[in-house]
Chains A and B, each alone.
Chain A
Amino acid sequence: MAAFEKLVRQYDRQVFRIAQHIVQNREDAEDVVQDAFLKAYEKLDQFQGNSKFYTWLVRIAVNESLMRLRKRRTGRMVSIDEDVETEEGSMPRDLADWSPDPEALYGQSEMADILRRTIQGLPPGFRVVFVLRDVEGLSTEETAETLGLSIPAVKSRLLRARLQLRERLSRYFKKRSGGRAREKQAQGGVK
């Protein structure tokens, strides 16, 4: 039990963060944290000393989160494959360069709002790949294993997720003044 308590303390923040990113609702995220750790506990002896414990826990948390999301949007299928066929973001359109220090443009809490709103606009199947790979720092292989996707599928979703986020953030971060000349030039075109 003490060993398990240590695992909870070690990973609770990550599980909560991942759950919040997927379900976008605090009560559901709290439930996911509880259920994920309970499931982990039931099988704890299988994972003692196993370095894969974290990815295994994340997989449980992701599945629980998708299930909650599905319950909330009754009648709508929510899966890791939802909406990933979109062409948005496959080729960047907004070519304006960003301000050299976009973080200086907004206060801390305003910035957090922008980032939350922006990532929430992505389809769940893109969001979860971006969160695991770029926010939580899992490798491509770990992300693929966790989500039951192939490595090329993870790579393609990650690219699209990154480009979509970039495009959406451009609205907030692009150069406002003094950047006109460069912006115009940059719109010169895609080869």
Chain B
Amino acid sequence: MTCTEFLAQLDEMLDQDAAIPLRADLQEHLRTCEHCEITLNTTRKTIQIYRSHELYELPDDLRERLHKAILAKCRKC
């Protein structure tokens, strides 16, 4: 298996339940290719980091202001 073929499966590996063992040919490539091992692990970490950080929090005061504005306009609809 080439790295390109391995990377084509990256989506499924990342989405797959961690409890399910990887397909044997993918495992074999990972065991012998540090490049792909690093790519898989750091890409997984990339997603985790983005998931666990709230980059655009909606502050309470703005939230209230938006609710009022939306509901006021809706009453006029």
Contact = CB atoms under 8 A, between A and B. Distances in A.
Interface of A: 1, 4-5, 8-9, 12-13, 16-17, 20-21, 29-30, 33-34, 37-38, 41-42, 91-92, 95-98, 102-103, 111-112, 115-116, 119, 130, 134-135, 155, 158-159, 162-163, 165-166, 169-170, 173, 182, 185-186, 188-191
B2 A186 contact: no
Interface in B27-77: 33-35, 38-39, 41-43, 45-47, 49-51, 53-58, 62-63, 66-67, 69-71, 73-75, 77
B52 to A, nearest CB: 8
B42 A166 contact: yes
Contact of A34 (B57, B63, B70): B70
A92 B45 contact: no
Contacts of B3: 91, 190-191
B49 A103 contact: yes
B22 interface: no
A125 to B, nearest CB: 17
Contacts of B56: 16-17, 20-21, 29
A159 B14 CA distance: 10
A21 B71 CA distance: 25
Interface of B: 2-4, 7, 10-11, 14, 33-35, 38-39, 41-43, 45-47, 49-51, 53-58, 62-63, 66-67, 69-71, 73-75, 77
A163 B42 CA distance: 9
A134 B14 CA distance: 11
Contacts of B49: 102-103, 111, 115, 169
B47 A115 contact: no
B39 A12 contact: no
A173 B73 CA distance: 46
B63 A112 contact: no
A27 to B, nearest CB: 11
B62 to A, nearest CB: 7
Given A12-B67, A41-B74, A191-B2, A135 B51 contact: yes
Contact of A190 (B35, B43, B58, B74): B35
